[in-house]
Structure 1
Amino acid sequence: MAHTAMSGSGTTAGDDPLQTAVWRLRSRGCWTDAAALLAPHSAAPAAALERAGLLVERCLFTGEGWADAEDALRTAEAVARDDEERGGAASERGRLAYAATRLGVRDRADEARSALGRAAALLAPGSPRRPLLDFRRGLVAEHIAASPQAALAAYRRAHEGAAAQDDALLLSFTWHQQAGIALQEGELTQARHGFSEALRIRVELGYLIGTAPTLAALADCEPEPEAGRLRAEAGRLFRLLGGVPVWLAARLSLPAQATTTALPGPAV
């Protein structure tokens, strides 16, 4: 089974039917159903880690399912056989701790830093998991350490690595986060380009769950009436997907459908 590292689309030529099914469910926000498909294979480290990643991602987008994610992550840690697999599990643990901190569930900032640092020590310099790890360390730098320049450096490393690996979904994330920093710095042209690239990739991949946040972000770079059109489309997708991601509600001035504190930007 190919390990997607929670960033590949699972829809390229040669992907097995299981990976394609997992991707289709994941891209529509059906993380629990996708994880259930992998459960029979969770004795295999790659499948166990992918399943944990799906359930961690569910936490990020919904603010729910923390216990399930912890259980799946412990399984992935238990079946890991080498430093590469242990590093991948540490990266997921760091992401879960980041999610809990960012969504205001529990302050696990120290755990997030420690786990991602452990992942960096375990993963070889040429590991295919390095770009995703760089991206996650960028998120911690930006949203927990409040260090946008350190975050930007990490996002750029992740961007280069994703391009080298032809990882389109991770590229959409790195485009989006770099554009967000550009927008904060008043670089509207750069921000518009980054958000547009992220949106293009997500539409091409059919990554519905990540499309509404990028539409809303792009709207912040555009004048009216285009900004209003983009926000209306983002709102349509938000409602279609059952009010997920929960942190988008505040940006769209829509009622949140979860108790999680709404955030001003993506928590991916």
Structure 2
Amino acid sequence: MSGYGTTAADDPPLQTAVWRLRSRGCWVDAAALLEPHAKHDAEAALHRAALLIERCLYTEQGWTDAEDALRTAEALARDDEARGAAACERGQLGYASTLLGVRDRADEARAALGRAAALLAPGAPGRPLLDFRRGLIAQNLAHSAQSARAAFRRAHAGATAHGQTLLLSCTWRHLASLALREGELAEARHGFAESLRIREELGYLVGTAPALASLAETEPEPEATRLRAEAARLYRLLDGVPTWLASQLSPPAAAV
């Protein structure tokens, strides 16, 4: 569905509208479009919760709204796939809270992702996202590059197989960040460039500034300065979202 990061011409109008709002960082407006359906439809409830959790990660605001939406999604889940997807979002909320220093919920995040792994079949569409989020915890909370790389590679392969294009941009980005830390400049440049290309093609504006800033880390001058200037322009256009990017427009930038 377009709300999850595709732009197929035959997408339902609601999903297209949700994606357009999400891609511009208008998560509250996007969630409002889903709210009437989220009261009784498990998929809509989960989608709404995911939007509000993403808002937390990008803006450091809206934690109570995200928690309430997630509880609704959890209550509506009726099968293992829905329960696993809800547990994956529970893990993401705990990860975001811990990463941004709001409250340490690392144990909750790991437990939730463990539940998701038990509920989602190996070939389930939700499995690549689960692998990616396990990689985030390994990379940014456990600081285990080896575990993170293995999880991101599984997520990358799964996203490719399932046609999950936006997730693919994220796996490219994080594999590139690991390569950069190990001094593999050419590999890092390629990964960041692929991530940026996908985000620009999808029109994922809110994720484009971080992608530009990351690519700038691998480019010589004057290209690096040009990329950072473009990232700063988009950052101002989106009223300072993502919040964590401000301090990283000159230093390295790779958090989402």
For the residue of structure 2 that corresponds to 1:70, the secondary structure is helix
Q: Which has the higher helix share?
A: 2
1:36 and 2:32 equivalent? Answer: yes
Cα distance in 2 for partners of 1:266, 1:252 equals 10
Distance in structure 1 (CA, Å) of the matches to 2:127 and 2:240: 32
Counterparts of residues 249-260 of structure 1 (less than 5 Å): 249-252=246-249
Q: Give 1:136's aligned residue.
A: 133
Deviations 1:33-67 (A, max 9, x none): 00000000011000000000000000000000000
In the alignment, structure 2 segments of 5+ residues that lack a partner are none
3-state SS of the aligned residue for 1:120? Answer: helix
Distance in 1 between residues matched to 2:252 and 2:222, nearest whole Å: 22
Give yes or no for the alignment of 1:25 onto 2:21: yes
1:62 and 2:59 equivalent? Answer: yes
Return the offset for 1:13. Answer: 2.6
Counterpart position of 1:236: 233
> 2-side partners of 1:66 and 1:164: how far apart?
33
TM-score (norm: length of structure 1): 0.93
TM-score computed with the length of structure 2 as normaliser: 0.97
1:46-125 equivalences under 5 Å are 46-125=43-122
8 A Cα contact 1:7 1:170, kept in partner: no
Aligned-partner SS, 2:236? helix
**In 2, Cα distance between equivalents of 1:171 and 1:136:** 13
Q: Which runs of 5+ in 1 are unaligned?
A: 254-262
Of 145, 151, 168, the match for 2:142: 145
Rounded to whole Å, the distance in 2 between the matches of 1:8 and 1:203 is 12
Contact kept in structure 2, 1:179 and 1:192, CA below 8 Å: yes
2: CA distance between counterparts of 1:212 and 1:36? 25
Identity %: 71
Query: Which whole-Å CA distance do the structure 2 matches of 1:213 and 1:111 have between them?
Result: 27
> In structure 2, do the counterparts of structure 1 residues 7 and 134 end up closer, same or farther at CA, with 3 Å as the change threshold?
farther
Aligned with 1:200 (options 193, 197, 201):
197
Report the AA paired with residue 243 of structure 1: G
Residue matched to 1:154: 151
- State the Cα distance separating 1:264 from its structure 2 match: 6.0
Residue matched to 2:185: 188
Partner SS, residue 25 of structure 2: coil
SS at 2:11 equivalent: coil
Answering whether residue 213 of structure 2 is matched by residue 219 of structure 1, we say: no
Q: Is the 8 Å Cα contact of residues 250 and 264 (structure 1) preserved in structure 2? A: no
Whether contact under 8 Å (1:61, 1:267) holds in the other structure is no
Matched, 1:15 2:11: yes
Distance 1:159 1:144, change over 3 A: same
Give the partner amino acid of 1:34: A
Q: Secondary structure at the match of 1:243?
A: coil
**What amino acid is the match of 1:30?**
C
Off by >2 Å, runs of 4+ in structure 1: 6-9, 263-268
Shift of 1:8: 2.8
